């Protein structure tokens, strides 16, 4: 019986089981698992960014974005050594 056949609902209990499963994987499957983990992380980051952009847009912060970028570029240009 696989350690994952009965999944605990508490993530702190699941983590050690997943580690055991990873330790039993064939090497070629580790690359696939890593890729899946990176895709999950990318999805989470994308979702958080979308939420923050929506929040910023609702608060009117993005309306000032061109002005903020212009000021940042001017600041960077003034710091450059001729």
Q: What is the pLDDT of residue 2?
A: 52
Does 82 score more than 80 pLDDT? no
| Contact between residue 2 and residue 21 where contact means Cβ atoms under 8 Å apart | yes
Question: Each residue of 12-66: pLDDT tens digit?
Answer: 999 999 999 999 999 999 999 999 999 999 999 999 999 999 998 899 888 888 9
- Is residue 55 in a domain? yes
Give the SS3 label for residue 9.
Answer: coil
Does 28 fall in a domain? Answer: yes
Q: Please tell me the predicted confidence (pLDDT) of residue 6.
A: 73
How far apart, in Å, do the first and last CA atoms of the chain sit? Answer: 69
**4, pLDDT greater than 80:** no
Residue 1 lies in a domain: no
Residue ranges making up the domain that contains 73:
11-79
Q: Within a domain: residue 41?
A: yes
Domain count, the chain: 1
Whether residue 61 lies inside any domain: the answer is yes
Please tell me the predicted confidence (pLDDT) of residue 5: 62
- Residue 80 is predicted with a pLDDT of 74
In a domain, 24, yes or no: yes
Asked whether residue 5 is assigned to any structural domain, the reply reads no
Would residue 3 count as lying in a domain? Answer: no
């Amino acid at each position: 019986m696989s350690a994952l056949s009965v999944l605990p609902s508490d993530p702190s209990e699941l983590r050690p089981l997943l580690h055991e499963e990873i330790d039993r994987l064939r090497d070629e499957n580790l690359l696939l698992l890593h890729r899946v983990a990176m895709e999950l992380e990318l999805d989470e980051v994308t979702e958080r960014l979308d939420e923050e952009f929506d929040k910023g847009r609702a608060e009117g912060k993005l309306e000032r974005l061109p002005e903020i970028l212009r000021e940042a570029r001017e600041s960077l240009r003034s710091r450059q050594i001729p």
